[in-house]
Structure formats: structure tokens, C-alpha cells
Amino acid sequence: MARRVVVTGLGTVNPLGKDVASFWQAACAGESGIGEITQFDASGMKARIAGEIAGFDPEEYIERREARRLDRYDQLFWASTHQALTDAGISYEEDDPAAMRAGVVVGSGIGGMISFQNGIDTMRERGPDRVSPLTITQIISNMAAGLVSIRYNLFGPNTCTVTACAASANAIGDAAEIIKRDAADVMVAGGAEAPVCEFAVAGFSQSRALSLNNDDPQGASRPFDADRDGFVMGEGAATLILEEREHALARGANIYGEIVGYGMSSDGYHVTLPRPGGGGAARAMQHALDDAGLASSDVDYINAHGTSTAANDVTETAAIKTVFGDGAYSVPVSSTKSMTGHLLGGAGALESLVCILAIRDGIVPPTINYTTPDPECDLDYVPNEARSVGVSTAMTNSFGFGGHNVSLVFAAHH
């Protein structure tokens, strides 16, 4: 019998909320978590806005000494994972045999970017002997996975996906596959990013990817709108606890939903731009549907990649039309990046969490700041206000620099 994979725990810290409940309330209310950058002096930057997590205190989850040894992206994932494991009612002692069947997959686009920048600054200003011995472990993208494995006694498969803005969608899909092939019963899966620093903001600005609408931070991220001018960088983390269905039922776990489809493809076209026409994105979506054994007409909601860039939004719209045909105009599509900003490698995990909550509550969050229709983006983007919709099946899309395309399909548990 095929092993089925269900979701039994959720956790997040992001610009809209420091836990799942506060995030979901704000998302359904159409609030924005974007403002002027406060983590450094951005006055000399082209882009001076971001989605930051106001008031995040890692010491709510981590001892002070330990917290100071970690990059912010590690702290964020630690926090979201603590929430998710607590929500799932899962904990292991070091000698628990079940811990050998529990693992971790984390996605991050650029890992410890803040620590990387600080280490370079220290070396240039004070010399190589003053660089912290912790620098490398703070920087490397896999360390969030390693840390939560150490802290929570997760001794099964442990790995990291680094596929730019598709990274945490890959992490969730890969974690589900690990369970399906009977290499684990429980997997911590998700992603984190903490890119709000001078180096990352400057780099993305120079690639002309970021919105320069600095005078209207809350209105700057406007996916599918004709006046969009780039994405807004965001920080955050989200964690899903994935579990083999029979294992979850045996322990009486609360089951939010089921992951039923995982599709991937490559554009093979350009380092930053999507392939025109959306052929690669469409293949990932179709592969996910095929994996789920579903038709496009079975999908009740699409959480779009929807970055608010000129190229992505047109391409993703075209891809949806390719896969859904005439049904593309009747399925609600929304981009929660309009509210959170773009969490880069953490985006896919947060948007998977959105799909699970949409299934649970029958509410589709809106695409805010949608005021001027774009003739090339003519689908139902759930403009500006959440909508009550019966959602049994939801798809989320994540596309990354380098041409990485990932789609995931979630369904109500039966």
C-alpha cells in the first residue's frame, strides 16, 4: 500500500505575525507587513523597504548564549519549528527509537547572509584574525537543518535544498518523498530566510528586481497589477510537520491536510528571467497534478508565486492558462507576497502553510494592492479582500532564479 503523507503541525514567524494564528488573521484581513527598513541604515539604498518581523525575540525559543551564536535565519527557523513540533505534539528523547525515523529538510536561498556580510566587514576593517570562529557555521545554508536536528533529537534523514526562491517548496516535496519511500515516519519540512542587510538589498536592487516604491511601502508589492515595479524583500520562516498517515492516526494526531502532489521542472533559459510563455512553470504544475492523480478542474485555489515583477506575473498567468485551460478563469488565484513581501527561499513553505489553512477554514486570502488591471494578467486574483471558498484542493507555485520550478498540491484529509 502506498504511504500517504499528512500535515500534523504548523509554525511560522513572518512580517504579518509571529505565530500561525496572528499571521492568518492578518492575511485574511488583507493587512501589509511591509515598511521602511529598520535593521540597518538604508538611506543610501535604491530600495529602502522590506517585510521585517517587528519585535522578534529569539530568546523566547533559544537561550541567550546560543541565540548569539546563530545567524538570524537560523533563529527564525528554530522558532517556527518549535511552534510546529509543539502544535503536532511531537518530542523525542535522545534514546527514543522513534527519533531515528524523524528527520529534517530545510530550504534557504542564501543562508546566513547577515553573518556573511558581517564577517567580510570584520576581515576588511580589523584583519583576518578577528573573524569569528563561528562564521562558517553561521553562514552555511544547511545549518538550520542541523541545528533543529541537534536540538529536537531528529536523527533520521537531514538535508537542505538551495534552489533560490523554490527552495522551501522543494524541501516540503522532498520531505514527503522521503516518507513515501519509507525512510522516515515524521519530517520537519520548511524554510527560512533573513536577507535584510545591505549586501543583499544592494545586490537585488542592482539586478532591478526590487520595487522602488519607497514612499508607499504597504502599497509597493502589487502582484499582477499593471503598475507593479518589482518585489519587496521579506524575512521569515515556516515549518510544516509531515507525517505518514497511519503513524499520525495511531497517535491520535490532528491532521490539517495531506500533501498529494509534487512537480518540478527547469526553464533552462536564463539566470533570472522565466522562459517566456511559462512552459517550464506549466510543466511543474502539470507534473504535480499528475503525481496527485488529479485534473486541473479538481483544484479549488492556487497560491501563486506572484512576485510583483513584470516578467513573473505575466509568465505565471500564461502557465496557469496552459494547464487549466478555460478553467483558469474560474479558479481563485492569489499572491500573499502582496502582504508579506517575498521570503525568497522561505516563500514556498509559508505559502504551503497558507494552502493548508485555506483548506482548513474555507478562506482564500487576497492579493492586496490590486487596483489597475493588466491585460496580460486577466485571471481572478482575489483582489483586495479575502473570500470564503470551499477549498478541498489547493496548489502553490514557487519559481527560483536559475529556472527552478516547483508546484505542490495539498488536499483535505479523508
Per the annotation, the verdict on 165 as an active-site residue is: yes
Contact 51, 234 (CB under 8 A): yes
Catalytic one of 82, 342, 355, 404: 342
Contact 296, 327 (CB under 8 A): yes
Catalytic one of 160, 165, 197, 377: 165
What is the distance between the terminal CA atoms of the chain, rounded to a whole angstrom? 16
At residue 157, φ and ψ (nearest 5 deg) are -55, 135
Beta carbons within 10 angstroms of residue 167's beta carbon: 31
Per the annotation, the verdict on 197 as an active-site residue is: no
Torsion of CA 261, 266, 271, 275, to 10 degrees: -100
Cα–Cα distance measured from residue 363 to residue 21, given in angstroms and rounded to the nearest whole number: 14
Cα–Cα distance measured from residue 206 to residue 199, given in angstroms and rounded to the nearest whole number: 11
Catalytic one of 82, 287, 305, 404: 305
Cα–Cα distance measured from residue 352 to residue 346, given in angstroms and rounded to the nearest whole number: 10
DSSP annotation of 165 reads G
| Among 201, 269, 236, 207, residue whose Cα is nearest residue 405 | 269
Using DSSP bridges, classify how beta strands 301-303 and 333-334 pair: parallel, antiparallel or unpaired.
parallel
The three three-digit cell numbers of residue 75, written as one number:
533563529
Per the annotation, the verdict on 342 as an active-site residue is: yes
CA distances from 205 to 35, 213, 298 (A): 17, 12, 39
Beta carbons within 10 angstroms of residue 30's beta carbon: 18
> Strand, helix or coil at 377?
strand
Contact 359, 250 (CB under 8 A): no
Give the residue numbers annotated as catalytic, written as ranges: 165, 305, 342
